[in-house]
Amino acid sequence: MALGARRRGTADEATAARPSAAAQLEAMGVLPPVVATGSEGLPPASGEIRLQKPALPVLAVTLFLLALVAGVPILYYLFYAILALIVITFFWTRSLVQNLAVNRVLRTKWCVVGDSIQEDFVIRNDGRLPALWVEVRDESTIPHYQPGVVESLGGLDERRWTARAVCRRRGLFKLGPVRVLTGDPFGIFQGAITYPTHTSFIVYPPLIELPGLPVPSGTAAGTSRTSLRTLHVTTDASGIRDYEPGDSLHRIHWLSSARLGELRSKEYDLEPSGNLWIILDLEAAVHAGEDEESTEEYAVKIAGALIHQAIRDNKAVGLVAYGAEKTIIPPGKGARQLWRLMEQLAMVAANGRLPLHRVMSDVSATLGKGLSIVVITPTTDTTWLNSLLVMRNRAAVPAVILLDQASFGGPHSTRTLANQLMTAGLSVHTVARGQEFRSITAEKREWEQQRRGRGVQNVAPMAANAPA
């Protein structure tokens, strides 16, 4: 780390002046349910002192023995000088370890890919002895984020600096631990102060719009109640009826049962168009490309776009993502469900081993009947088509988004598979490398007009229906 690194913040003034995507989303009311403020300082640290030049004590002992044997006064003087140097530098280093302290304040509550993270740091010397060099090392895992510095501090002095970096990758990262290194002017002892704790920080994938995405409707129209009753528990309860043997405890309406003195059960409406399942193919063997221009990142962006569109249309949406871990999130509505799914998308990776047909067979019973299903995959294998057709025969309405593997440098094209899907009567959308994505922050003005037109205050735009 170079000296003067604390001035790095000024290099990003142009970027900082431009409102971030997170700031624009906050202005629209679109923000995660829980965000970290990062306003607290670092907890108590542990310190240690290490001898950097072990030959010096050996030299002192050697001089002392020679002085005893030879009786030469100059050897005594050299021994006393080296011993005094060791003692003084040790207590100097110990004073610095006891009196140096670092605080960090996270100014960025949350961010999406492309936004900047910002932290304010303060290093303080509460002792009277100066620290000729102090190195602050930060072990944060955010790529290209290096907030550490090398400074010099006088007695009762402090230094402040701001660290910024653009978050180019989604994921769950950590801020910290922090390690402070210092020592005496002669480099005989080195002191280390360690702040072992760390803070988790999520970089969400961008919320984008992709016109033309196939969002299928279920076997019943509408986004709220229908006239079709179902034996399954859904998001819409339409009324109550007499209790029947076999009804689960979840179906019993306890307030009515207590008031009437007999058990009553809830009736539910079938809302297939409101239950959208997104199946994200994360098999490592079928993905291609690197970094942002990869099928993995495109698949995550598209999944995020579908989730945002469904939530904004007041539909329930769920996610199936089998990577290194199996993830199944049941359908839900509202801003909390949006950020629950976006948090999961931030952490998924194309490191799964199960092929798509195994995944679909595994979750077929979980998804149920009469639902909308969107499969996002770059695979060119046709084995999974049978599972998709079985789902369609169970009154599900599927759609497929194919990522053209060849355009990302993969060995195969999805053209043949797309033709087979269309021949089977399925809705298909092919996305190739270079596809332009539109951030939803571009719709801020339109959403604000919708809110003013409705006379609604403090309502998250994604929870609003289409304009009246």
As a whole number of Å, the CA-based R_g of the chain is: 31
In single-letter form, the type of residue at position 7 comes to R
Q: Which two tokens stand for residue 114?
A: 């492309």
3-state SS, residue 154: coil
Residues 372, 276 contacting (CB under 8 angstroms): yes
Class of the 208-219+272-463 domain?
alpha beta
Burial pattern 143-174, b for ≥16 Cβ within 10 A else e, equals eebebbbbbebeeeeebebbbbbbbeebbebe
Q: Locate the domains of the chain by residue range.
A: 37-204, 208-219+272-463, 231-269
pLDDT at 1: 38
Please tell me the total number of residues recorded for the chain in this structure: 468
In this structure, the strands spanning 293-294 and 208-209 are unpaired
Residue found by looking up tokens 């063997």 in the block = 285
Question: How many Å apart are CA 220 and CA 378, to the nearest integer?
Answer: 30
pLDDT at 252: 86
The candidate with the shortest Cα–Cα distance to 440, out of 18, 36, 27, is 27
3-state SS, residue 239: strand
pLDDT at 448: 44
| Superfamily for the 37-204 domain | Immunoglobulins (2.60.40.10)
pTM of the complete model: 0.72
**Phi, psi (5° rounding) for residue 222?**
100, 160
CA distances from 324 to 284, 295, 307 (A): 10, 17, 22
pLDDT at 390: 86
Question: How many Å apart are CA 63 and CA 78, to the nearest integer?
Answer: 7
**Ranges of H-type helices in 101-234:** none
Question: How many Å apart are CA 66 and CA 76, to the nearest integer?
Answer: 9
Q: Is 391 exposed, middle or buried (0-12, 13-18, 19+ CB in 10 A)?
A: buried
Q: Chain-centre distance of CA 91, in angstroms?
A: 45
Residue partners of 287: CB distance under 8 A and separation at least 6: 294, 295, 296, 350, 378
The sign of the CA dihedral 304, 306, 307, 313 is: positive
∠ Cα 5 6 10 (to 5°): 100
Q: Which two tokens stand for residue 52?
A: 């950097």
Long-range CB pairs of 60-65 (<8 Å, 24+ gap) are 60/86
Question: How many Å apart are CA 165 and CA 178, to the nearest integer?
Answer: 17
DSSP letter assigned to residue 282? -
Q: What is the edge-to-edge ordering of all strands in the sheet holding 149-153?
A: 46-51, 189-195, 178-183, 131-138, 149-153
Question: How many Å apart are CA 400 and CA 431, to the nearest integer?
Answer: 11
Q: Which two tokens stand for residue 389?
A: 């057709």
Full pLDDT tens readout for the chain, 468 residues: 333 334 444 444 444 445 666 665 566 555 675 544 444 456 678 899 999 999 999 999 999 999 999 989 999 999 999 999 999 999 999 999 999 999 999 998 888 898 899 999 999 999 999 999 999 999 999 999 999 999 999 999 999 999 999 999 999 999 999 999 999 999 999 999 999 988 899 999 988 887 666 666 554 434 444 444 444 555 556 678 888 887 777 788 888 888 888 888 887 655 444 588 999 999 999 999 998 899 999 999 999 999 988 888 888 999 999 999 999 999 998 888 999 999 999 999 999 999 999 999 998 877 877 688 999 999 999 999 988 888 888 767 889 999 999 999 998 899 999 999 999 888 899 999 988 887 765 444 444 444 455 443 333 333 333 333
Torsion of CA 148, 151, 157, 163, to 10 degrees: -30
Residues 373, 364 contacting (CB under 8 angstroms): no
Question: How many Å apart are CA 235 and CA 332, to the nearest integer?
Answer: 8
Phi-psi region of 425 (alpha: psi -120 to 50; beta: other; left: phi over 0): left
Q: Which two tokens stand for residue 96?
A: 């610095």
∠ Cα 254 260 266 (to 5°): 40
pLDDT at 215: 65
The candidate with the shortest Cα–Cα distance to 193, out of 209, 184, 181, 210, is 181
Q: What is the edge-to-edge ordering of all strands in the sheet holding 316-322?
A: 326-332, 316-322, 275-280, 372-377, 397-403, 427-431
